[in-house]
Every structure is written in C-alpha cells, then in structure tokens.
Chain A
Amino acid sequence: MTTSPTVQTRVETIAEEAEAGSLRGVILGVGRYLRRNPQLIVGLILLLGLVAFTTIGRLFVDIAGAHPLAGPASQPPSAEFPLGTDPQGRDVLAVMVVGAWLTIRTGVIAGFIGILAGSAVGFVAGYYGGWADRIITWIVDVLLTVPAILFLVIISAMLQNGLTSFGMALIIALLAWRRPARQVRSQILVMREAGYVEMAKLSGSSGFSIIFKEIAPNLMPYLISSFIVAVAAAILASVGLEAMGLGPQNEPTLGMTVYWIMQFSAFLLGLWWWILPPVLILIVLFVGLYLLNAGLDELANPRLRKRT
C-alpha cells in the first residue's frame, strides 16, 4: 500500500473500532481529527458559509443588480434592497454575492497555478540538485527579496484596460510559485535522504516509481497546506491591488468595492451599509483560510500532533 505514514498511524489508532481502510474507519478517522481540531471546524464553517452565501445567494438575488445604475443611488437598506445601494446604483447585496465568488475564484486559480508551477520548479531543484538547484535557488531568493506588490502593481497597471478577474488571477500566479518552490525543494531534500527512499533505491525501483510511489504521497500533506497558504496569499494580493484601483474595472469584486468606497468617501457620506459588508466578508474569508490552515497544520507536521 502506498498510504503515507501519517495516514497509517491514524488508521492504527482507529483500528480498535473499525476495519482499516473501510468506509467506517475513514469516517471515524476524519471525525476524530475534526474533534481534536476546533480551529479546523470553525475555519470550515466560515469558508463553507461563504461558499453557500455566494452559490445559494445567486438563486435568490438578481445578479444584474451588481452593475451600476441597476437601482437608485445611495439608498439605505430596505425591503427591496436588503443591503441598500451604492452611489452608482449597484445593489450591495448582489455585489457581495458576485464579488465573494469572483474573489474566491481568483484566489483558487492563482493558488493552484502557483502550487503546480512551484512544486515542479522546487522538485527539479531538490531532486536533481547541482547547477539546476543553484540557479533556481538563487532566482527564487532574489525574487523573494523584491517586493511582490510592486511587480504586481506595475504589471496590472500595464494591462489595466480590459483586465478581467481571470487575467488578474494569472498575473498573481506569476509570483505565486516562489514560496511553494522553496518549500517543496527543502521537503524533497529531506525526503531524498529518507530511509524509505534509500530502501526503494536499493530494491531497484526506477527513478520514476520512486517519485510517484514514495515521494509524491509523502509530499501531499505539504502540498495541501501550501495550497491553502497560496490561496490566502493570492486573495490578499488581488484584493490589495484592487483596493489601489488596479483591478478589473467592470467586475464587482470585493477589492474593487473597497476601492470605490474610498473613492466616493463613503465614510464622510455615512454609507455604513456599503462599507461594512465587503470588509466583513473579507475578514471572514481571511480568518477562515487561516484557521483551516492552522487546523491542517498537524497533517503537514505530524510532530505537532496532540496526544489524545
């Protein structure tokens, strides 16, 4: 079997109650893990709540209201517009439903590309070593020194006309691979020397089989954890750029909403129903991702596992 040691030890503790590998065993395992990690539960609730808000919300809220001039300007919350409207006549509730979706999508796309590219680069550096490693490490080190936000600001300022939120995700992905590359590299360096890899080599496994049967399964927990970190970082970058007015001009993302709030001096106008929803949704999103990652930390670092 190719299960990682993390999974195996967990299965062993459950073995008293259920057959190893059976559905009941898996459910029990997940249940135990959740019970030991309240952070994970809270994080999941926050994130699933947001996803539900933006998917189920679509069924009840008219999305067309997320565009300017869909309603009267600067109306406080009412029966027709539960969260009121902004000075350009957008229905704030519709903006939130669409914006949460766009922002989450941007983060997931950029994070996914970043992890994919980053682990490929990190793998090459860590596994093959030598000159490839030295050059890659040097490039990553230099790129990590240079403030990412500045690169992103220049790139998105260049492309600003006609930028979509999908294009935004691609721009952010340009720099999202740096950290995963470094993490995967150091992980591979450790694993390359690990006993089970030596063992596989001695028993004559091919390089290909070592990579996919020995290293890849053990790398999974790290990849899941760095994926969440990458998504959070991508959302942070996209919302930051948008709040500077460098995002997609025609899409109601959460960051662009923050930008318009500052442009229209919403604080002086007292439009609280416009200010608070995007800020609160973003806070829920960031806290949810953070707690999810903290809750999964044990998975990536088995040494942290609490005794039960």
Chain B
Amino acid sequence: MYIQRILRRILTLLAVIWAAATLNFFLPQLAPKNPITEKLTQLAETSGISGNQIAVLTEAFNERFGLDQPLWKRYFDYLHDIATFDFGYSISSYPTRVGDLIGGALPWTLGLMITTTLVSFAIGTLVGAYAAWRRDSLLMQAVSSVLMVFSAIPFYLIGLVLIYFLAAKGGWFPISGGYSLFSIPGWNWSFALEVLHHSLLPALSIAIASIGIWAIGMRGMMVTVQGEDYMVFAKAKGLKPRRVFLRYGVRNAVLPQVTTLALFFGQVVTGAVLVEIVFGYPGMGNLLLESITLFDYPTIYGIVFILIVTIALSMLLVDLIYPLIDPRVRA
C-alpha cells in the first residue's frame, strides 16, 4: 500500500518534471531574438565587427550550437541532455560549460538560503507557538503584530532598507557582493569571515520576513491544537506546562509547518533571485538574471531545470517523510 503510493508519487513527479521542462523549452523559442546575434551585437559594440560579418558569424555559431536544426530535433536533444544532466556550453560566456556556471553559483545560493531558512524556521515556529500559548500576554500580542507586519514585506525591500541604514549610513556592512573585490577566494579563515560578513545582511533581510511567516502559521495551528481534548487531558493529568507545550502542543501543531517548509525549500532559489540582485550576491539569482538579459538559452534551461527538480523533489520528500512524523497518515 505504502509502496504503491510512493510509486504513484514518483510517476507524477516525472510527469511534472517532463511537462515543466517542455514548457520551459518552448516558451523561450517564441522570443523574437536570436541569442547569437544578441551576443555578437554586444561584441560588435566594443570590437567593431561589421553587420555583414555578424551575419556570417551568426550562421557559423548557429551550426556550432545546433540552433539551425529543426525544432523537434532540438527538443529531443534537449530532453536527452537534461535527462543526463548535460546542459552544454553557455553561449554568453563560451567556452564555459553551463554545469560549471551553475556549480559556481549554486553553493552561494544554497548556503545562504538553507542556513537562513532553517534558522528562521526554528525561531519563527517557537515564537509563534509561544505567542499562541501566552495569547493573553500583551507582550506576545505586540510581538505577533510586529511579526505579522514583517511577514507581509518582500525580502528585497527589507534588504534595501537594511542596506541603507546598516551599510550605506552605518558603514558596518559592505553594500554589495559576496566577498571583497580585492581578496582571492580560498579555504582559509579570513576569507570565510569575509564571506560571512558579506552574507549577514542578505540573510537578515530574508530572516526578518520569514520568521514572521513561520510564526504566523505556527500561531494559527497552535491555537487550533490548544482546543483539542488531549491538551485538556494532558493539563488535567497535571503534567508540567513545559511538557504540555512542547510534547503535546508544538509536536502536533508543527506538522503543517513541515509541509510548508518543503515547499519553501523548493522555492529557495527563486525566492533569492531579487535578494541576490539587490545585494549583488554571486548566486543563482544573479546568474539567472545575467543569462536572461543575454538570451543565453542553455544556461536558462540549466538553471530552470535545476529549479524544477528541486521543487518537485522537495514535494516528494515531504510525501515520504510525512508518514514518519504523523502516524495518522500511515494507515
């Protein structure tokens, strides 16, 4: 029964990935611009190639990248490539491979988002649970209201405010970048500290809003759970409030939060796009923006495919983990 359910979920997952990848292939084809011409025109501005030469070069590059093939053939090549995780060469920064570009950007984004998400999930969930537990306390009501307001503000707007007050005016943090222009990336302490220093503000701007999101969700669930009979029973048994709060309240109320967490992880990269742009942070967001403005299709495909797989996988993961956390679903 359980295995059958998993198999069905995996089949759906593959269908979703295929459909999304297909849409993702055909949509950019509608764009009236040729990526090669786009890149060459950009080069021509600096090096003085004539219009005639651009036409010849475009021809040659189209052949090199297979863009002169009929659409259906490119579609099947594309499906074959992504199935083997081969995204080919980037057009705008040839001869770098798309995989290498993504490999360079992904750790920055994942590092920033996973750390920030986990920390704000833990803080937000506990604060939200406590706010529901002490619903009559004026302090907790004030905290809830403030968190609620923050949860409504997009990450990057908070980021702009933080840059203005803490970086530009206060001067305590760098205004942009993932590390200083003058230092060489490497595995040493001074570089690690520098990266940490640069990522604190982006992390903070994401955390401020998402702590609110988690707290509001948890508070709502906790209020519902508190009305349950087992809570009354636990209190009537004379259990310590701490135990009732953590083992009976939080443990039951946290379930829907876990579902949301997986969806949130799925959107890790998309959610970071604007924050990364605002902070000039060298992650997937900036890479995506760059490749879109240069119509670098292979890189766009690669990034989007990684995104789709991440989201679909995290949904599957929740489906698999959920029965372990919530025994009621197992039946």
Contact = CB atoms under 8 A, between A and B. Distances in A.
Contact of B311 (A145, A262, A282, A291): A145
Interface stretch (A109-117, A163-171, A193-201, A264-272): A264-272
Given A243-B274, A262-B278, A268-B175, A145 B152 contact: no
Interface stretch (A12-20, A25-33, A78-86, A153-161): A153-161
SS class, residues of chain A in contact with chain B: helix
B134 to A, nearest CB: 18
Contacts of B300: 154
Interface in B145-160: 148-149, 151-154, 156-157, 160
Contact of A240 (B16, B153, B154): B154
Interface string B286-309: 001100110100001000100110
Give the bracket for the number of chain A residues in contact with chain B.
Answer: 35 or more
Interface in A258-280: 258, 261-262, 267-268, 270, 272, 275-276, 279
Contacts of B274: 240, 243-244
Nearest to B158: A283
Nearest to A147: B270
Interface string A121-155: 00000000000000000000110011101110111
Contacts of B278: 243, 262
A279 B157 contact: yes
A262 B30 CA distance: 30
Contacts of A239: 154
Contacts of A291: 148-149, 152
A9 to B, nearest CB: 21
9 contacts: A142-B23, A146-B308, A147-B269, A243-B278, A262-B278, A267-B167, A283-B157, A290-B148, A290-B151
Interface of B: 15-16, 19-20, 23-24, 27-28, 30-33, 148-149, 151-154, 156-157, 160-161, 163-164, 167-169, 175, 267, 269-270, 273-274, 277-278, 288-289, 292-293, 295, 300, 304, 307-308, 311-312, 315
Interface of A: 141-142, 145-147, 149-151, 153-155, 157-158, 236, 239-240, 243-245, 258, 261-262, 267-268, 270, 272, 275-276, 279, 282-283, 286-287, 289-291, 294
